[in-house]
Amino acid sequence: MLNQTHGSIKIFAGNASKKLAQAICNQLDLPLGQMDVARFSDGETSVSIKETVRGCDVFIIQSTCSPTNENLMDLLIIIDAMKRASAGRITAVIPYFGYARQDRKARARDPISAKLVADLLQTAGVNRVLTMDLHSTQLQGFFDIPVDNLMGMPVLARHFSTFGIPDDMIIVSPDMGSVSRARALATKFNLPMAIIDKRRPKPNVMEVMNIIGDVKGKRCLMIDDMIDTAGTICQGAQAVMDNGATEVIACCTHAVLSGPAIERLQNSVLSKVVVLDTIELPESKKIDKIEVVTISHLFAEAIERVYTDLPVSKLYE
C-alpha cells in the first residue's frame, strides 16, 4: 500500500488508457478514481468527477492516441474540471504524447503543433507532465513546468534478457533518429550494431539507401520509439534479410499502428513485434506477431516518486 504521508493521492483515467490506469492502480494498491467521460449529443466532451479531489494530488492517465483530437480534448477538459474542483496538484500522465512529431517547421508556413499542445495543457491547469519516449526530447523545452520523459528501452531490454540474448544477435537502428536508442541497447547487451540509412521522399514513405554494418548470418533486433504505418520497420526488416540476416524481431515503445500497419506487419519478414502498452490495442489490431509488454510498473513507481517528492532520475539509471 502506498504510504500516503503527503496528503491524499487520487488516480483517474481517460477513456484512452483505462486498462493501463487500472494496472497502475493495482501496482500501487489504490482504487481508480470515479469519473465519467462521455459525449453530449452534439459530440462535445462531458466530464463528471464522482468524488472529491479538493487538496488532493491528482494523476490523470490518458494517452493522446487515435482518435488524437478527441483524446486530447478529453484530457484538457478533465484537467480543467480538476482545477475547478480545487485539486492540490495535477499531473498529466501521458504515456503516448500525440503531436510530438510536429515539433519544428519542416516547410514554410508549417505549424509547430507540439508547442501548441504544450501551451494548451499548461493553460488548462496541469502542474506536471509524466510521459514516455517523446519523439524529440527537446519537446520538454516547450513546457514551463516539470516534464518527466521516461524511457521504454530498459523495459524492452529486461523483457528480452529474460529469454536470453543469443551470441549471433545484432541491434539494428531502422533510421538515424533511433541511433542513440539502438546504441544504448547494444551497449547494455554488449552486442554489435547496424544502422539503416534511409530517406523520406514524402510523409509515411521510406526508401532504404544503405545498411551501415554487417548483418549477414545475424539475428536482428530492430528498435524504434514508435511504429506508425509500419513502412519504416517492414522495409528495414526486408533490407536486412536481403543482406543475409537470418531473423528479424522488431520492438518499439508506442504501437500507433495506423493505416496499413497491421497488414504490413502480418505480411512482413518480421518474426515478432514486441510493443509496450502505452497505447491500448483494439481487438482488430491484435495479431499473433504482436507481443505486448506492460509498463504499468514503471509508471506506478514514477507516480509514487512524484507524489512523495522523491527523485524520478533513479528511473533513468
119 annotated ligand-binding residue? no
52 annotated ligand-binding residue? no
CA 112 to chain centre: 20
54 annotated ligand-binding residue? no
Catalytic residue from among 10, 105, 198, 216: 198
For cell 468527477, the residue is: 49
135 annotated ligand-binding residue? yes
Is 198 one of the catalytic residues? Answer: yes
225 annotated ligand-binding residue? no
200 annotated ligand-binding residue? yes
175 annotated ligand-binding residue? yes
The CA-to-CA distance between both ends of the chain, in Å, stands at 25
280 annotated ligand-binding residue? no
57 annotated ligand-binding residue? no
42 annotated ligand-binding residue? yes
Binding-site positions for D-ribose 5-phosphate = 200, 224, 228-232
Annotated binding site for ATP: 42-44, 101-102
- Indicate the annotated binding residues for Mg(2+): 135, 175
State the catalytic residues. 198
Residues within the annotated binding site?
Answer: 42-44, 101-102, 135, 175, 200, 224, 228-232
